[in-house]
């Protein structure tokens, strides 16, 4: 084994151990900068242009498979297709009738809001996107969709399907954008119980497709099958869109909070087409809490004690 | 087939067998492609890390051509492709490459079966580094992730035999 060492006629540069330490430190430095400060987003999007040909090529077999499936459906089972078409026609007519009602109600609502001198609730427009790649990291619940800066997608926009909230745009590349699903660990959505208006926050669980409500008092008025909709608080998620349904409640008096488990309403792991909603109107800035007020609080408390 | 390939290892030492840069580059790109296929659900857990295997192979057989530095660079590209943190794959692959370079000195003493055991150790370490970084940043670990380490190890012998055969074909043609 030592013989191979003596065969080195030329200087080969630093030893493997030195290289290991150098590159490990470099990686750790990058990790720190990326995790803490997110300075490297432009580098990432530049490099993604280099990687995207391979990604596109890799997505091809799946796309071909889907195409073959579509072909089989259109060619092989025509009867079901006709039936489905009829069904959709009926559905469309029903929806059209409801839409007419909605329009009159919207006009009425606007008039009432005018009368009450309330600011208009802004209308949202949606952009249809298709999932290009599913996340390849076991740890994360994200998908990449096929519109990025070219489609005017911005970080923070809300993504939904036809039923409910799916996630939020967290990173935008030139031609793609990354959507973090609501089931991602610690992803929070401000929500409201539809039945009684109770405000809460829905958190993702990360390792399963479930959601949970944290910090719900044991005595909170919440029941199985309660629907949770977005509350619109914080101005990121538009109000009134379904998020989740409560499936299990565990009230253990030993803990201060009840364990509430929910399942997402939308097909978070199912569809290929999603809607990206336009950004909501900016809320006025949240006033900063000045340290002076803390002193004032303390003074007030001490006064009360005295 | 495997006996033939193994005999070749002993007849002609690894180090003397030539390999073109194109072959190395194509193998790494193919590995990135295989990693990028739309794996889902349990298949994602079971997916072998092809890039890690190919890098390990070259680090073991041609450490002066594809060593720790280039492995790090490939890791950065893997980070972009997987949308993981910058340096997460890079750190794991640096450790992997170091393991491969160390094993390069011992390569001639072991046959494929003994190599596989050592390869399992290196891959487990690589996966552990990746999971550790994730745990440090996000605070949790998906244990099923380590299944990929087993499937990767199972793939080591076929990969070695395939690469040896391809390189042998090249030698024969010349």
Give the model confidence (pLDDT) of B7-52 as tens digits: 444 444 554 567 788 889 999 999 988 888 877 777 888 889 999 9
Average pLDDT estimate for A194-218: 84
Count CB pairs under 8 A between chains A and B.
130
Q: Would you state the pLDDT for residue B1? A: 41
Residue A3 within a domain: no
Asked if residue A154 and residue A32 are part of one domain, the reply reads no
Mean pLDDT of chain A: 80
Contact A144 B40 (CB under 8 A): no
Contact B81 A136 (CB under 8 A): yes
Asked if residue A108 and residue A28 are part of one domain, the reply reads no
Report if pTM > 0.80: no
Number of domains in chain B: 1
3-state secondary structure of B173: helix
Average pLDDT estimate for A131-150: 79
Asked if residue A108 and residue A38 are part of one domain, the reply reads no
Q: Please report, rounded to a whole number, the percentage of residues in chain A having pLDDT higher than 90.
A: 9
Q: Please report, rounded to a whole number, the percentage of residues in chain A having pLDDT higher than 70.
A: 81
Burial classification of residue B27, based on how many CB atoms lie within 10 Å of its CB (0-12 exposed, 13-18 middle, 19 or more buried): buried
- For residues B99 and B117, the answer to whether their CB atoms sit within 8 Å is no
Buried b (16+ CB within 10 A) or exposed e, A123-152: eeeebebebbbbbbbbbbbbbbbebbeebe
Asked if residue A187 and residue A85 are part of one domain, the reply reads no
In whole angstroms, what is the distance from residue A102 CA to residue A60 CA? 42
HSE of B47, CA atoms in CB hemisphere, 13 A: 22
In whole angstroms, what is the distance from residue B35 CA to residue B59 CA? 19
Q: Would you state the pLDDT for residue B16? A: 56
Higher pLDDT, B1 or A238: A238
Asked if residue A267 and residue A133 are part of one domain, the reply reads yes
Residue A282 within a domain: no
Question: Which pLDDT tens digit goes with each residue over A112-134?
Answer: 877 776 655 556 678 888 888 77
Higher pLDDT, A139 or A49: A49
Sort strands A227-230 and A211-217 into parallel, antiparallel or unpaired.
Answer: unpaired
Average pLDDT estimate for B138-153: 85
Residue of B nearest to A36 (CA): B137
Q: Does B102 touch chain A (CB under 8 A)?
A: yes
Confidence of residue B93 (pLDDT cuts 50, 70, 90): very high
Average pLDDT estimate for B54-66: 88
Estimate to the nearest angstrom the gap between the alpha carbon of A114 and the chain centroid.
Answer: 34
DSSP type of residue A285: P
Residue A143 within a domain: yes
In sequence order, which residues have a C-beta less than 8 Å from that of residue A173 and are 6 or more positions away?
Answer: A44, A45, A48, A148, A149
Cβ-nearest to B91 among A27, A44, A135: A27
- Reference A180, options A139, A224, A238, A239; nearest CA is A139
A93 to each of A80, A83, A90, A161, how far by Cα in Å?
Answer: 20, 16, 5, 21
- Interface subset of A 163-182, CB within 8 angstroms of B: 171, 178
Residue A134 within a domain: yes
Asked if residue A56 and residue A152 are part of one domain, the reply reads no
Is the predicted pLDDT of residue A144 greater than 60, yes or no? yes
Higher pLDDT, A286 or A18: A18
For the ranges A41-50, A114-123, A184-193, B146-155, the lowest mean pLDDT is seen at: A114-123
Residue A296 within a domain: no
Residue A281 within a domain: no
Q: Give just the sign of the alpha carbon dihedral B24, A11, A30, A140.
A: positive
Q: What is the phi/psi pair of residue A13, to 5°?
A: 85, -170
Contact B82 A137 (CB under 8 A): yes
Q: Select the residue from B37, B66, B72, B83 to test the A interface by mutation, using most A Cβ atoms within 10 A.
A: B83
Q: Does B147 touch chain A (CB under 8 A)?
A: no
For the ranges A179-183, A250-254, A287-291, B60-64, the lowest mean pLDDT is seen at: A287-291
Asked if residue A109 and residue A48 are part of one domain, the reply reads no
Q: Would you state the pLDDT for residue A287? A: 77
Residue A204 within a domain: yes
For the ranges A98-112, A273-287, B97-111, B134-148, the lowest mean pLDDT is seen at: A273-287
Q: Give just the sign of the alpha carbon dihedral A62, A65, A69, A75.
A: positive
In whole angstroms, what is the distance from residue B67 CA to residue A223 CA? 59
DSSP type of residue B110: -
Is the predicted pLDDT of residue A202 greater than 80, yes or no? yes
Q: Would you state the pLDDT for residue B10? A: 46
Q: Does A4 touch chain B (CB under 8 A)?
A: yes
Domain with A84 in it: 77-116
Contact A35 B85 (CB under 8 A): yes
In whole angstroms, what is the distance from residue A262 CA to residue A248 CA? 7
Residue of B nearest to A136 (CA): B82
Cβ-nearest to A47 among B72, B77, B95: B77
- Residue A58 β-bridge partners: none
Q: Does B115 touch chain A (CB under 8 A)?
A: no
Q: Would you state the pLDDT for residue B5? A: 45
Number of domains in chain A: 3
CA of B39 vs chain A CAs: smallest distance (Å) = 7
Q: Does A21 touch chain B (CB under 8 A)?
A: no
């Amino acid at each position: 084994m030592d013989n191979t060492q003596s065969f080195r006629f030329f200087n080969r540069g630093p030893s493997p151990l030195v290289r290991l330490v150098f590159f490990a430190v470099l990686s750790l430095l990058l990790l720190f900068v990326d995790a803490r400060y997110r300075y490297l987003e432009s580098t990432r999007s530049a490099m993604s242009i280099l990687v995207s040909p391979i990604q596109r090529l890799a997505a091809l077999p799946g796309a071909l498979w889907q195409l073959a499936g579509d072909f089989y459906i259109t060619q092989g089972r025509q009867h079901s297709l006709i039936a489905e078409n009829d069904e959709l026609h009926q559905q469309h007519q029903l929806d059209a009738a409801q839409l007419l009602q909605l329009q009159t109600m919207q006009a009425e609502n606007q008039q009432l809001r005018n009368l009450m001198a309330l600011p208009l609730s802004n209308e949202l427009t949606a952009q249809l996107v298709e999932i290009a790649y599913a996340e390849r990291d076991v740890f994360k619940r994200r998908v990449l969709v096929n519109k990025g800066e070219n489609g005017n997608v911005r970080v923070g926009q809300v993504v939904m399907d036809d039923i409910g909230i799916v996630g939020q745009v967290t990173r935008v590349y030139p031609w793609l954008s990354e959507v973090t699903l609501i089931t991602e660990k610690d992803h929070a959505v401000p929500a409201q119980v539809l039945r009684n208006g109770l405000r809460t926050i829905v958190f993702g669980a990360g390792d399963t497709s479930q959601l949970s409500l944290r910090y719900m008092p044991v005595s909170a008025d919440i029941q199985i099958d309660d629907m949770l909709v977005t509350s619109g608080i914080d101005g990121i998620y538009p109000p009134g869109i379904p998020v989740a349904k409560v499936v299990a409640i565990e009230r253990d008096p030993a803990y201060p909070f009840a364990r509430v488990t929910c399942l997402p309403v939308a097909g978070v792991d199912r569809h290929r087409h999603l809607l990206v909603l336009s950004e909501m109107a900016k809320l006025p800035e949240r006033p900063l809490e000045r340290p002076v007020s803390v002193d004032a609080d303390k003074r007030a408390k001490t006064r009360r004690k005295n | 087939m495997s006996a033939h390939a193994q005999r070749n290892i002993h007849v002609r030492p690894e180090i003397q067998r030539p390999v073109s840069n194109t072959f190395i580059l194509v193998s790494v790109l193919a590995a990135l492609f295989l990693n990028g296929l739309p794996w889902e659900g349990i298949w994602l857990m079971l997916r072998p890390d092809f890039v890690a295997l190919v890098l390990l192979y070259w680090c073991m057989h041609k450490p002066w051509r594809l060593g720790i530095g280039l492995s790090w660079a490939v890791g950065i590209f893997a980070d972009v492709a997987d949308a993981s943190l910058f340096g997460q794959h890079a750190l794991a692959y640096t450790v992997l490459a170091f393991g491969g370079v160390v094993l390069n000195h011992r390569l001639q003493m072991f046959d494929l079966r003994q190599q596989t055991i050592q390869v399992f150790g290196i891959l487990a370490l690589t996966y552990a580094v990746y999971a550790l970084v994730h745990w440090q940043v996000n605070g949790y670990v998906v244990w099923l992730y380590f299944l990929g380490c087993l499937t990767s190890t199972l793939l080591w012998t076929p990969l070695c035999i395939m690469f040896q055969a391809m390189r042998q074909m090249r030698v024969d043609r010349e």
